[in-house]
C-alpha cells in the first residue's frame, strides 16, 4: 500500500473511533431530528391553512410545551405515586401469594406441589430486587443532572432544526458527491415519510391500547385504572418489551383485591396484545411502514446494547432509517445496477436456463 492509502486508512479509523465515542450525542441529535420532522409536519399543516411559517412554528412549539407539561405535571407524578404504592403493598401481595399457594397445596393430595419455602425465598428476593431497582430508578431520574442537560439539548436541537430545516438539510446533503446529491434528497424524503407514517400509526396504537386497557381494568375493578391504562399506552412505544412490562403494575394491584382478578388481568392483557399484534398493528401499519417482527425485536436488543436506555426508545426510528438507506442505496443503486461482464453473462444465463 502507498503512503496516501495508509493515511486514508488511518484517517478512517480515527473518524470511526471519534464517532463511536460521541455515539450518544449523535443519537440525541437523531432523536431531535425525528422530533423536528414530526413537528415540521404540523407546521406544514398549519401552512396549508394559510398561517405564516413564523406563527405556525410558534403554535407548534406551544402545543409541544403543553404536551410536555401534561406529561411531567400530570402523568409522571401519578405514575411515580403508583410505583410507590406498589412498593408499599408488595409485602401484602407476597403474603397473599403465600396463603393462596398454601391453600392450593393443602387441597392437592400426594404432595404434588413442592414446599413453599423455595417459592417464599424467591418471592422475597424478587421483592428486594424490585425495591432496589425502582428506588434506584427514581433516584437516578430525579437526581441526575446529566439527564436534564441531555433533555434540554434534545429540545434545543429539535427547535433549531424546526426553525430552519432546509439549511441543515442542505449542509447534510453537501457531505456527499455532487452527482449523488439529488438522490440523497430523495432518500431523505423517503426517511421522512417512513418516520411520519410510523409515528402516526404508533400514536393510534397507543391511544387504542390505553382506551381498551382502561375499559377492561374499570370493568374488573382494579385500582388506579386510568394510570395503568396510561402506562400501557406509553409503554406501547417500546415494541415487544413495553406491552409485557405494562401488565406488572395492574397485576400486583389486582392481587390485593382478589387472586382471581389477577388472573383476569393477565387474560385481559394477553387478549389486548393478541388484538394489537394480529389486528391493530397490521391495520394501522398497512399503509404506513412495513417492518418484520423479527427485525423489530432484534433492533430493540441491539440498539439498547449499543446506545443504552435512549437506544431502547429510538430503536424503531433507527431501524426505519437504516431500512430506507439500505433499500435505496445498497439495493436500488448498487445491487440492482450490478451487471456482470459481457463475457461471463452468456454462460451464467445458460446455466440458469438449464436449472429452470
Name the range with the highest mean pLDDT among 82-91, 131-140, 163-172, 259-268: 163-172
pLDDT at 77: 72
End-to-end CA distance of the chain: 45
200-226 burial code (b ≥16 CB/10 A, e <16):
bbbebbbebbbebbbebbeebebbbbe
pLDDT band at 137 (very low <50, low <70, confident <90, very high): low
Q: Is residue 58 within 8 Å of residue 43, measured between CB atoms?
A: no
Domain count, the chain: 1
DSSP string, 313-340: HTHHHHHHHHHHHIIIIIIIIIITT---
Task: Return the ∠ at Cα 84 (arms to 81 and 89), rounded to 5°.
Answer: 125
Residue 280: DSSP 8-state:
I
Range of the domain at 26: 1-174
Whole-angstrom distance, CA of residue 25 vs CA of residue 21 = 9
Name the range with the highest mean pLDDT among 68-72, 287-291, 332-336: 332-336
Q: Cell digits for 67?
A: 404536551
- With respect to residue 219, please indicate whether it lies within any of the assigned structural domains: no
- With respect to residue 143, please indicate whether it lies within any of the assigned structural domains: yes
Q: Is residue 64 within 8 Å of residue 162, measured between CB atoms?
A: no
| Residue 318 clears pLDDT 70, i.e. is over it | yes
Give residue-wise pLDDT tens across range 92-102: 666 666 666 66
Give residue-wise pLDDT tens across range 186-211: 999 999 888 888 888 888 888 999 99
pLDDT at 186: 93
pLDDT at 181: 92
Q: Cell digits for 203?
A: 400514536
Q: Cell digits for 156?
A: 434545543
- With respect to residue 56, please indicate whether it lies within any of the assigned structural domains: yes
Over range 171-197, report the average pLDDT. 90
- With respect to residue 14, please indicate whether it lies within any of the assigned structural domains: yes
- With respect to residue 167, please indicate whether it lies within any of the assigned structural domains: yes
- With respect to residue 5, please indicate whether it lies within any of the assigned structural domains: yes
Over range 142-165, report the average pLDDT. 79
- With respect to residue 302, please indicate whether it lies within any of the assigned structural domains: no
pLDDT at 215: 93
Give residue-wise pLDDT tens across range 29-65: 998 998 898 889 889 889 888 888 889 999 999 988 8
pLDDT at 106: 65
Whole-angstrom distance, CA of residue 276 vs CA of residue 281 = 6
Q: Cell digits for 93?
A: 401481595
Q: Cell digits for 106?
A: 393443602
Half-sphere exposure of 308 (CA within 13 A, CB side): 7
Q: Is residue 185 within 8 Å of residue 30, measured between CB atoms?
A: no
H/E stretch holding 112: none
Whole-angstrom distance, CA of residue 226 vs CA of residue 210 = 9
- With respect to residue 234, please indicate whether it lies within any of the assigned structural domains: no
Q: Cell digits for 275?
A: 388484538
C-alpha gyration radius of the chain: 26
Amino acid at each position: 500500500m502507498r503512503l496516501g492509502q495508509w493515511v486514508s486508512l488511518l484517517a478512517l479509523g480515527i473518524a470511526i473511533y471519534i464517532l463511536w465515542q460521541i455515539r450518544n450525542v449523535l443519537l440525541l441529535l437523531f432523536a431531535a431530528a425525528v422530533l423536528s420532522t414530526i413537528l415540521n409536519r404540523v407546521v406544514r399543516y398549519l401552512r396549508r391553512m394559510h398561517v405564516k411559517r413564523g406563527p405556525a412554528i410558534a403554535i407548534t412549539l406551544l402545543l409541544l410545551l403543553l404536551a410536555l407539561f401534561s406529561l411531567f405535571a400530570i402523568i409522571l407524578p401519578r405514575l411515580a405515586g403508583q410505583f410507590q404504592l406498589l412498593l408499599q403493598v408488595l409485602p401484602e401481595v407476597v403474603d397473599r401469594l403465600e396463603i393462596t399457594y398454601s391453600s392450593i397445596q393443602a387441597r392437592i393430595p400426594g404432595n404434588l406441589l413442592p414446599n413453599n419455602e423455595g417459592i417464599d425465598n424467591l418471592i422475597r428476593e424478587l421483592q428486594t430486587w424490585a425495591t432496589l431497582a425502582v428506588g434506584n430508578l427514581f433516584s437516578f431520574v430525579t437526581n441526575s443532572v446529566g439527564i436534564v442537560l441531555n433533555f434540554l439539548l434534545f429540545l434545543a436541537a429539535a427547535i433549531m432544526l424546526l426553525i430552519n430545516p432546509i439549511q441543515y438539510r442542505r449542509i447534510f446533503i453537501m457531505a456527499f458527491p455532487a452527482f449523488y446529491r439529488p438522490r440523497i434528497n430523495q432518500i431523505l424524503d423517503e426517511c421522512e415519510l417512513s418516520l411520519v407514517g410510523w409515528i402516526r400509526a404508533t400514536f393510534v396504537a397507543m391511544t387504542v391500547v390505553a382506551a381498551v386497557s382502561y375499559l377492561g381494568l374499570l370493568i374488573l375493578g382494579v385500582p388506579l385504572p386510568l394510570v395503568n391504562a396510561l402506562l400501557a399506552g406509553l409503554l406501547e412505544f417500546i415494541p415487544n418489551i413495553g406491552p409485557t412490562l405494562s401488565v406488572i403494575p395492574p397485576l400486583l394491584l389486582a392481587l390485593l383485591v382478589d387472586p382471581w382478578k389477577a388472573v383476569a388481568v393477565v387474560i385481559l392483557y394477553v387478549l389486548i396484545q393478541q388484538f394489537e399484534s394480529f389486528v391493530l398493528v397490521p391495520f394501522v401499519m398497512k399503509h404506513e411502514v412495513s417492518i418484520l417482527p423479527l427485525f423489530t425485536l432484534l433492533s430493540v436488543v441491539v440498539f439498547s446494547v449499543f446506545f443504552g436506555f435512549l437506544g431502547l426508545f429510538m430503536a424503531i426510528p433507527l431501524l426505519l432509517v437504516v431500512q430506507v438507506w439500505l433499500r435505496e442505496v445498497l439495493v436500488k443503486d448498487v445491487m440492482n445496477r450490478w451487471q456482470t461482464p459481457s463475457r461471463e453473462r452468456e454462460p451464467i444465463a445458460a446455466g440458469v436456463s438449464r436449472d429452470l
